[in-house]
């Protein structure tokens, strides 16, 4: 059993041995999202001198509204999981330009409550994205700032339910738009 674990460990980490940087990993998170009620984290694993790849996770639980006459409450819950690669022009975890293609699956639920009742909408789908930005890397701390595009793959159906009359409707939607990132990270 020890021999099997040793072989698996060597195979998993042998691709990391040729990286230019002494650090092989970068753990990043989105600090701006924390203010709004979401968290986004990523782990970048060095796989080549200019490339990283790793998981990308996002969770949103945001609520806002008003009380009194005409009160309302909006609620958004979302979970996303995916993978992202990063190509660094000057080598991994080095100051400079980066390009970050990604593929993510997202599941979103929106709820609107007002004096007339509650309406909910649910959608899920695959999303392809690409960011272009600049990274600043110090000893172990780093910042990445970028912008780009994200598009849903295929149609994203949104199921809308109205609690007042129990009606349900499916709305066909093609999702595409601008995306941005500001992340803080630590290499190790």
User: Among the residues of the chain, which ranges form H helices?
Assistant: 2-14, 31-36
Reported as a single tens digit per residue, the pLDDT across 67-99 is 877 788 999 999 999 999 999 999 999 999 999
* Token pair listed for 142: 């780093």
Q: What pLDDT does 118 receive? A: 85
Distance CA 155, CA 127 (A): 11
Q: Which among 85, 124, 82, 123 has a CA at the least distance from the CA of 103?
A: 82
Please state which of the ranges 9-18, 124-133, 154-163 shows the lowest mean pLDDT. Answer: 9-18
Q: What is the DSSP letter of 165?
A: T
Chain centroid to CA 45: 16
Task: Check: CB of residue 136 under 8 Å from CB of residue 187.
Answer: no
Q: What pLDDT does 72 receive? A: 86
Q: What pLDDT does 21 receive? A: 55
Reported as a single tens digit per residue, the pLDDT across 26-61 is 999 999 989 888 999 999 999 999 999 999 999 999
Q: What pLDDT does 95 receive? A: 98
User: Among the residues of 85-152, which ranges form H helices?
Assistant: none
Strand-pair partners of 176: 151
Q: What pLDDT does 11 receive? A: 38
What residues contact 15, with CB distance under 8 A and at least 6 apart?
47, 48
pTM above 0.85, yes or no: no
Q: What pLDDT does 122 receive? A: 87
Q: How far is CA 162 from CA 109, 113, 156, 171, in A?
A: 14, 10, 19, 13
What's the mean pLDDT when you consider all of the chain? 86
């Amino acid at each position: 059993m020890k021999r099997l674990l040793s072989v698996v460990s060597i195979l998993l980490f042998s691709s990391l041995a040729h990286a230019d940087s002494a650090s092989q990993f970068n753990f990043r998170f989105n600090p701006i999202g924390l203010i709004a009620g979401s968290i986004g984290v990523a782990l970048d694993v060095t796989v080549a001198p200019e490339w990283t790849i790793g998981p990308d996770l996002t969770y949103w639980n945001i609520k806002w509204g008003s009380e009194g006459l005409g009160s309302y409450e909006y609620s958004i819950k979302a979970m996303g999981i995916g993978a992202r690669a990063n190509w660094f022009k000057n080598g991994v975890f080095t100051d400079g330009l980066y390009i970050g293609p990604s593929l993510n699956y997202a599941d979103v639920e929106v709820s609107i409550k007002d004096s007339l009742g509650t309406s909910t909408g649910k959608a899920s789908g695959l999303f392809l994205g690409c960011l272009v930005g600049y990274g600043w890397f110090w000893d172990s701390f780093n910042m990445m700032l970028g912008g780009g595009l994200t598009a849903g793959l295929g149609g994203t159906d949104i199921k809308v339910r109205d609690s007042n009359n129990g009606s349900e409707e499916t709305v066909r939607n093609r999702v595409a738009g601008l995306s941005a990132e500001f992340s803080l990270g630590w290499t190790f």
